[in-house]
Amino acid sequence: MGCCGSKKETPEETRKPYSWETREQIDPNDYTFDGIVNETVVRKQGSINGQPFVIKDCKDAKIFLLDAIATITIDDCSNCQFIIGPTKGSIFIRDCHDCKLICACQQFRTRDCTKIDTFLHCTTQPIIESSCKMKFGCYQLAYDGLEKQFTDSLLSIFNNSWYNIHDFTPVTESKNWMLVNEHVLIHDLFDLKSISDKDAASGNGDNEENEIEKTSLSAVSCNDSVIPLTRGSRERNFSESCLVLLFSSDNSVQTAFRLIATMKAKTQLIQTKEVTLSPDEIKRIISEQHLMKDWKTIRDGPVVGLEFNGEDCVNVCRKAVEQLEQESPTMYVSPSSDAARTEADSFYNFCDMRMSV
């Protein structure tokens, strides 16, 4: 029995609210572009915040999503240009034709598409299905806040399989896809620095151009892109290659980009990978362990691998690394081109195993 005059609590007063009752309600229409025709539309940073996004039934449009995204589907669009911010999950494109796309994601897939030019960063193997006349190039883009969006989306800037396309529906007479000509630059295909006269005349130019200017969006050279420009599966111009491993340290990413910039004039960057390895696993990759100066400096953590190709590539890499060793002493250079092939295979196998888990 309660005290005289005490108030008996009702179940409604004592029950704690469930999490879904206090969760912010999301309106899917706020994350949808439907029926955009002959316009430029922009979603700036902070306007999507990792939500799924849908684009459908758009024509002759320029669509810029400059924020981190969970997943995105693009359906029934034609003659459009898309800039898609880092996407934590998948990008799925269906029933589209004559479009151009710059995007980064964990998984990429198309179905029933024709003539889609994609500059891609994709962690896993990109997939096309019932699609033809598809072209792929390496992602090259920079705008303010993009690096943080990659981090928030859990995408490594070094794990890019843009060239390793799997075709679910191949044909015998020809390939359904090809790589973009290596001499083609993104700004040859995308007009990102200005809004066309047509957009301005339609009344969208001023507002949208201001949004783009605030974000400092531009088609950029490989020197400025947050993603290294890699050659991928294109034919190698030289017989000699070299693998450089940058072990876990506080500045390994910055050192990797400085090394890439140093090597650019004399070599070509074939591919890059990043995977978490232990010292024991690293020993299983390196063929000439006695060349490591101090194993005690190596710790568990992410290891960045850079594969270069060029004339006298091993010596060129070694000299470049020696210049940078004061900044990041935990680096390894393959002692020969033969060793590089073996070590690269072992390193990539580790990467594939970790990504498949």
Q: Residue 255: which region, alpha, beta or left (left: phi > 0; alpha: psi -120 to 50)?
A: alpha
Please check if 90 is assigned to a binding site: yes
Query: Quick one: CA torsion of 118, 121, 126, 132, rounded to 10 degrees?
Result: 10
- CA quadruple 192, 141, 73, 108: dihedral sign: positive
- CA quadruple 283, 299, 348, 224: dihedral sign: negative
Please check if 89 is assigned to a binding site: yes
> How far apart, in whole angstroms, are the C-alpha atoms of residue 202 and residue 211?
16
Please check if 108 is assigned to a binding site: yes
> How far apart, in whole angstroms, are the C-alpha atoms of residue 120 and residue 179?
11
> How far apart, in whole angstroms, are the C-alpha atoms of residue 236 and residue 240?
9
Indicate the helix (H) or strand (E) that contains 78. none
> How far apart, in whole angstroms, are the C-alpha atoms of residue 300 and residue 294?
15
Residue whose pair of structure tokens reads 């019932």 in the numeric block: 130
242, two tokens: 């070299």
Residue whose pair of structure tokens reads 């978490």 in the numeric block: 276
- Please enumerate in sequence order all residues whose Cβ is within 8 A of that of 278, keeping only pairs 6 or more positions apart, or say none: 300
Please check if 305 is assigned to a binding site: no
202, two tokens: 């339609």
Which residues sit opposite 74 in a β-bridge? Answer: 55, 93
Residue whose pair of structure tokens reads 């898309």 in the numeric block: 82
Task: Extract the annotated binding site.
Answer: 89-90, 106-109
Q: Which residues are annotated as a binding site for GTP?
A: 89-90, 106-109
